[in-house]
Amino acid sequence: MNFPEDLKYTKEHEWVKLLEDGETVLVGITDFAQSELGDIVFVELKEVGTQFQQEAVFGTVEAVKTVSDLFAPVSGEIVEANAELESQAELVNQSPYEAGWMVKLKMDDKSQLDGLLSAAEYKAHIGK
Amino acid sequence: MPFIPNTDADRATMLQAVGASTFDDLISNIPEKVRFKGALNLPEALSEMEVLEELNALANANQDTQKVTSFLGGGAYDHFVPSAIGAIISRSEFYTAYTPYQAEVSQGTLQAMYEFQTMVARLTGMDVANASMYDGATALAEAMLLSVAHKNRKEVVLAGKINPNAVAIMQTYGHGQEIHIRQSALENGGADLASVRELVSDKTAAMIVQHPNFFGCLEDVHELQKIAAENNALFIVSADPISLGILEAPGNYGADIVVGEGQGLGNTQSFGGPYLGLFAAKSQLLRKIPGRLSGMTVDKDGNQGFILTLQTREQHIRREKATSNICTNQALNALCACIYMSMMGKEGLTQVASLSIQKAHYLANEIQKLDGFKLKFSRPFFKEFAIELPIPASQAIAKLLEKKIHAGVDLKMAEENGLLIAVTEKRSKAEMNSFVEALKELC
């Protein structure tokens, strides 16, 4: 199971990638999360422009047997949502850290990143 | 014949099994003072023969459409039901009150649902339809809930006159979710466009129109659709499926959701139910559609098969996140509609619609010739119209029933004066002429 070192993680199984501009992050769910959920059939994301507080729900991910909430790892605003997922939700299974990204968030408070887990801490959290 | 067929020996065995010696012993933990003593206020027991006699007498007191010529409408109509429907639905594979779930549902039932969905989608001009809902009114209320969930807005606007019973159900459904239902003003029996423009805003989840409306009038659906679209609100159309044999399919004029009462499609009136809710939508709303859908697929060997699909929004998976908790459908009524549509075909349905509209207009013209009678509204209408008459509608209804005619629906239920008259393809010229004669004699 893959947990890239350059990403930050949450206890709710989201990953966060800081983009080059230093203002925005990509968010998705981890390899562990997709494998626990099984075949993902639908991803529902809030609209671009929606504002969030950290840990607020920014969408849901529907697998064959369950529906899970997606929690914002940092406060901010959705500036882009992955439109590919509307027709190809399976990308989340196939490529959780690349093609299966979910939203791009513009952060309100970059210091919140410091509170997130490192790859090693996340691995410890899930017992891997 | 005893009503509860337990013998004394049966009772003794049951009491012994639970460790009680007598019935009083069994209920000993119920305090004496709350136990009912004395005789129940019930008539003497009757024999089976006497019960049948009594029930037959009650049934014969009904003034049903076999005995009385019906001009009743307002949501339930006396359309012709081909005999083949009764024969086919009576097959034991179909004739059950039980809703089969995924594990037990047969391929035949699933295929019937699939065919029904396909026909409803084609009739309404929509991308997808579900396997049916309780009735037209609950389908409309579910469409309202869908729009509120989809748009994340709490208001809906009723454009024009919607069946008051359906509105009451929408209010019940919307009560807990604090949905605000706003009614536009009426103009000549239909939606007042200026009033609709005023009410629809960026807070509106959906604009809802019944077409033909409760008074039978046609609404300016093209103009209404524009107003909904300009405000990014869903456009929900409640349509009489029979009317779609002749009127434009709502999908062609931009409806996002089309619902309707399917009773007219091969289902008997049955004193008010069970009926059949039609629910069709654009494919973008597929994942939010309430109820169950049957889908066609192939198995691992490539053979065609049918499955219940995309019903994950309800209790199975979405649970508290679902937009609806409906998890069943009116399978037998949907089957009636499915058989009806397949027997009628496109041309047959068009013929039913044309005959209904022509006959309704003939009757409306004849009634207008009577002194003191006139059409209440001047809008175009389909098979139903409202009239004003020189005496209260309730009196006319009572007098005509003496002549074995159901004159129509008293518009008091819509807080109006007048009579709502429906004409189906079943009404003969002679029946309509008798109706006019009977009305003439009233004054």
pLDDT tens-digit map of B351-400: 999 999 999 999 999 999 999 999 999 999 999 999 999 999 999 999 99
**Domain total in chain A:** 1
B319 contacts in chain A (CB < 8 Å)? 67
- Cβ-based neighbour number of residue A2 at 10 Å: 9
CB distance B317–A60 less than 8 Å?
Answer: no
Which residue in chain B is spatially nearest to A67 when comparing CA positions?
Answer: B318
ipTM: 0.74
Q: DSSP labels for B308-324?
A: EES-TTTTTTTGGG-S-
- Cβ-based neighbour number of residue B65 at 10 Å: 15
Give the distance from residue B385's alpha carbon to the nearest chain A alpha carbon, in angstroms. 45
Q: How many angstroms separate the CA atoms of A74 and A10, rounded?
A: 10
| Domain-embedded: residue A35 | yes
For residue B439, the model assigns a pLDDT of 97
What pLDDT, in 10s, does the model give residues B215-271?
999 999 999 999 999 999 999 999 999 999 999 999 999 999 999 999 999 999 999
| Domain-embedded: residue A3 | no
Query: Where residue A78 sits, what CATH number does that domain have?
Result: 2.40.50.100
Global pTM reads 0.87
Establish how many alpha carbons lie within 13 A of residue B114's alpha carbon, considering only the half-sphere containing its beta carbon. Answer: 17
- What proportion of chain B, given as a percentage, has pLDDT over 70? 98
**What backbone torsions phi and psi does residue A118 show, to the nearest 5 degrees?**
-80, 170
Asked whether residue B321 carries a pLDDT value surpassing 80, the answer given is no
- The per-residue pLDDT of chain B, averaged, comes to 94
- The per-residue pLDDT of chain A, averaged, comes to 94
Q: How many angstroms separate the CA atoms of B374 and B389, rounded?
A: 7
The SS3 assignment for B88 reads helix
* Burial profile A83-114: b = 16 or more Cβ within 10 angstroms, e = fewer: eebeeebebbbeebbeebbbbbbbbeeeebee
CATH among 3.40.980.10, 3.30.360.10, 3.90.1150.10, 3.40.50.300 for B69-81+344-441:
3.90.1150.10
Q: Please report, for chain B, the start and end positions of each structural domain, with discontinuous segments joined by +.
A: 69-81+344-441, 83-340
Identify from B316, B317, B319, B323 which residue to disrupt to test chain A contact, counting A C-beta atoms within 10 A and taking the largest count: B317
| Domain-embedded: residue A2 | no
Asked whether residue B101 carries a pLDDT value surpassing 80, the answer given is no
User: Can you give the residue range of the structural domain that contains A46?
Assistant: 8-126
Give the distance from residue B140's alpha carbon to the nearest chain A alpha carbon, in angstroms. 25
Q: Which residues are CB-contacts of B134 (< 8 A; sequence separation ≥ 6)?
A: B274, B275, B277, B326, B330
Q: How many angstroms separate the CA atoms of B310 and A62, rounded?
A: 11
Give the distance from residue A44's alpha carbon to the nearest chain B alpha carbon, in angstroms. 10
CB distance A67–B287 less than 8 Å?
Answer: no
| Domain-embedded: residue A69 | yes
| Domain-embedded: residue A86 | yes
Give the distance from residue B319's alpha carbon to the nearest chain A alpha carbon, in angstroms. 9
| Domain-embedded: residue A1 | no
Instruction: Please answer whether residues B157 and B207 qualify as being in contact, where contact means their C-beta atoms are separated by less than 8 angstroms.
Output: yes
Asked whether residue A40 carries a pLDDT value surpassing 90, the answer given is yes
Nearest to B163 by CA among B259, B227, B78: B259
More reliable by pLDDT, B99 or B343: B343
CB distance B321–A42 less than 8 Å?
Answer: no
CB distance A60–B321 less than 8 Å?
Answer: yes
Query: Could you tell me the pLDDT band of residue B64, with boundaries at 50, 70 and 90?
Result: very high
B318 contacts in chain A (CB < 8 Å)? 62, 67
What pLDDT, in 10s, does the model give residues A45-88?
998 999 999 999 999 998 888 889 999 999 999 999 999 998 89
Asked whether residue B315 carries a pLDDT value surpassing 70, the answer given is no
Query: May I ask the CATH class of domain B83-340?
Result: alpha beta
Nearest to B127 by CA among B251, B261, B287, B227: B251
**Alpha-carbon Rg of chain A, whole angstroms?**
13
Asked whether residue B187 carries a pLDDT value surpassing 70, the answer given is yes
B317 contacts in chain A (CB < 8 Å)? 62, 65-67
Whether the upstream peptide bond of residue B212 has omega within 30° of 0, thus cis, is yes
For residue B313, the model assigns a pLDDT of 55
Q: In what order do the strands lie in the sheet with B234-239?
A: B128-129, B277-281, B257-261, B234-239, B204-211, B155-159, B180-183
What pLDDT, in 10s, does the model give residues B326-348?
878 899 999 999 999 999 999 99
More reliable by pLDDT, B86 or B323: B86
Nearest to B238 by CA among B206, B265, B211, B216: B211
